[in-house]
Amino acid sequence: MAGLKGLPVLVIGATRGIGLAIARELSRQGVRLGLTGRDPDRVARTASELGAWGRALDVRHPEAVAETVERFAKEVGLYGLVYNAGVSPVFARAERIGLEVWQEVLAVNLTGAFVACKAFAGSVQGPGSIVLVGSVLSLRGGARLAAYTASKAGLWGLTRALALDWADRGIRVNLLAPGWTETEMTQGLREHPRIGQDLLKEIPLGRMAKPEEVARTVTFLLDPENTYLTGGVYAVDGGVSAR
Ligand SMILES: NC(=O)c1ccc[n+]([C@@H]2O[C@H](COP(=O)([O-])OP(=O)(O)OC[C@H]3O[C@@H](n4cnc5c(N)ncnc54)[C@H](OP(=O)(O)O)[C@@H]3O)[C@@H](O)[C@H]2O)c1
């Protein structure tokens, strides 16, 4: 089975957390890897560790997102895209979420994904595969996480719409829906004495995921031999969405 070996895959948001685990996993699979992150030094270090193409990118700038995807396609080629960039800056009831924060979350989590996917479809020559990193909150409501939940539910809608639009071009689009994972994003909640314990009680497996456990599924979704997988959502959540 040839799998992903030698295929060019770009991971947007790959210098820490789940994105870094995805980049390492894809590198192990022998892809021609491209990665982005906001901090140029971190990008350079990670790209050098993994022998990857790297570029600093802030996804709040749509032109830069499109230009990065196009440049990767031109310099390396293009088969796969993983859009992992995401923020969750507030944990508060909806009436306390300001418009500025709302717009920031939507810009990073959803608009950046749309722009990257559009650039991907404009650049890819043959068949391709896109994985958007959503969340278990793509499928359920998240209390005190209105902006984040809306953005991640939006990604699930986007996944299905793009899968329909691009099925005739052989571009598969799927959503990965991680549950609670041990990264910087969840550090504050994990360390909170009450909220941290409450969260664990919600998880049937009784613990958060390690980023590596989430990353493995991306290989499966991108694999060109999984030709019939498109428009789906894949929860890696320790059983949370089974409730
Ligand atoms: N941790 C969880 O429990 C969990 C659960 C479900 C889904 N997720 C999703 O998984 C993805 C990765 O999250 P994580 O847990 O690994 O969080 P993290 O450690 O906070 O990493 C966030 C990622 O998003 C990138 N990012 C944030 N703002 C950006 C911007 N303006 N431009 C470019 N990149 C930006 C970061 O890049 P820099 O390194 O450059 O800042 C980093 O790669 C996110 O989409 C998140 O919503 C996480």
Q: Give bridge partners of residue 82 from the DSSP assignment.
A: 11, 131
**Strand ranges inside 44-190, DSSP E:** 53-56, 80-83, 128-133, 171-178
227: in domain:
yes
Both tokens of 182, joined, read: 């041990």
Q: Which residue range is the domain that position 30 belongs to? A: 8-234
CATH number at residue 105: 3.40.50.720
Q: Is 122 within a domain?
A: yes
Ligand 1, closest atom to CA 107?
Answer: 31
Model pLDDT for residues 183-228, shown as the tens digit of each residue: 999 999 899 989 889 999 999 999 999 999 999 999 999 999 999 9
Q: Tell me the pLDDT tens digit for each residue of 152-191.
A: 999 999 999 999 999 999 999 999 999 999 999 999 989 9
Is residue 239 a part of any domain in this protein?
no
User: Residue 76 pLDDT more than 80?
Assistant: yes
3-class DSSP state for residue 82? strand
In this structure, which residue's CA is closest to atom 23 in ligand 1?
85
| Residue 67 belongs to some domain of the structure | yes
Domain assignment of residue 1, yes or no: no
Q: What's residue 143's pLDDT?
A: 94
Ligand 1 centre distance from Cα of residue 168 (Å): 31
Q: Indicate the number of domains in the chain.
A: 1
Q: Is residue 220 part of a domain?
A: yes
What pLDDT was estimated at residue 31? 98
Q: What is the pLDDT of residue 193?
A: 87
CB atoms inside a 10 Å sphere around CB 82: 29
Q: Return the pLDDT at 27.
A: 98
What is the average pLDDT across 47-60?
98
Tell me, yes or no, if 148 is annotated catalytic: yes
Q: What percent of the chain has pLDDT over 90?
A: 96
**Residue 71 covered by a domain:** yes
Q: Is 83 in the pocket of ligand 1 (CB under 6 A)?
A: no
What pLDDT score does 152 carry? Answer: 98
Inside any domain, residue 198: yes
Each residue's pLDDT tens digit, 91-118: 999 999 999 999 999 999 999 999 999 9
Atom 41 of ligand 1, residue of closest alpha carbon: 38
Q: In ligand 1, which atom is closest to the CA atom of 185?
A: 20
The per-residue pLDDT for 113 is 99
Nearest CA to ligand 1 atom 8: 135
Q: Please, which residues have CB within 8 angstroms of residue 228's CB and are 6 or more apart in sequence?
A: none
Q: Does residue 108 line the site of ligand 1, with CB under 6 A?
A: yes
**Cβ proximity of 236 and 213 under 8 Å:** yes
pLDDT at 2: 75
Whose tokens are 């409450």? That residue is 198
Average pLDDT score, the chain: 97
- Residues paired with 6 in a beta bridge: none
The residue-averaged pLDDT of 109-129 equals: 98
Helix pair angle (112-123, 146-166), 10° resolution: 20
In the chain, the DSSP E strands lie at 8-12, 32-37, 53-56, 80-83, 128-133, 171-178, 233-236
